[in-house]
Chains A and B, each alone.
Chain A
Amino acid sequence: GQQVMQIPQYQHVQEGEDFTTYCNSSTTLSNIQWYKQRPGGHPVFLIQLVKSGEVKKQKRLTFQFGEAKKNSSLHITATQTTDVGTYFCAGHGTASKLTFGTGTRLQVTL
């Protein structure tokens, strides 16, 4: 079945440092979505990318969708303590099934 892996599993940075998480799917995706889950909370939608090679920015966050539509990345510039949480990618593969990645937990300290 479709599998979506993310690396790293966990990253601890100091405030102001950059952060990147990578997402890889075993199958081609029709789109890739990114979610953020705060500790004790539920996943909250951040953005969706649809086109091959697409890049989108949201303030300090940059999202990329790979050319083969099987991988994606999220880069945060100059992290802040408010960025703490777990970041999940999720994609629609065959049969419109929405599969979530394994997640990357980000910890930011002053």
Chain B
Amino acid sequence: EAGVAQSPRYKIIEKRQSVAFWCNPISGHATLYWYQQILGQGPKLLIQFQNNGVVDDSQLPKDRFSAERLKGVDSTLKIQPAKLEDSAVYLCASSSVRKPFNAFFGQGTRLTVV
């Protein structure tokens, strides 16, 4: 089966600019996650969707980050305006609602804010 697709793979922007990331989960996976992984740290959950509803977004900096999952399939994550500390790899993952519920990750988008 096809894996989780993310684009772009790399992005360099200046601070205060905006950026958007796109994710296409594995077909049929109801749950979609966006994680932020800063170098040397574990993935930090930004937002978790079940179909097109939000399960958790408690760690999403809502003043600058937004995410949507229209039609319960593809998702976009946007940062506006970006800060230097947003430099990280943004990982999208998806999982089925059937056991074992494990997350399948995309290759990630490496964002550098200068």
Residues of A within 8 A of B (CB): 1, 4, 6, 31, 33, 35, 42-45, 48, 88, 90, 92, 95-103
A100 near B102: Cβ-Cβ < 8 Å? no
User: Which chain B residues in 61-114 approach chain A with CB under 8 Å?
Assistant: 91, 93, 95, 99-108
In the assembled complex, B35 has its CB within 8 A of some CB on chain A: yes
A102 near B42: Cβ-Cβ < 8 Å? yes
Q: Size class of B's contact patch?
A: 20 to 34
* Interfacial chain B residues near A4, Cβ < 8 Å: 42
In the assembled complex, B21 has its CB within 8 A of some CB on chain A: no
* Interfacial chain A residues near B103, Cβ < 8 Å: 33, 35, 43, 45, 90, 98
From residue A58, how far is it (CB to closest CB) to chain B in Å? Answer: 14
B56 near A95: Cβ-Cβ < 8 Å? yes
A42 near B106: Cβ-Cβ < 8 Å? yes
**Bound complex: CA of A43 vs CA of B103, how far in Å?**
9
Q: Which residue of B lies closest to A4 (CB)?
A: B42
Given contacts A48-B100, A95-B55, A95-B56, contact A100 B42 (CB under 8 A): yes
In the assembled complex, B16 has its CB within 8 A of some CB on chain A: no
A99 near B45: Cβ-Cβ < 8 Å? yes
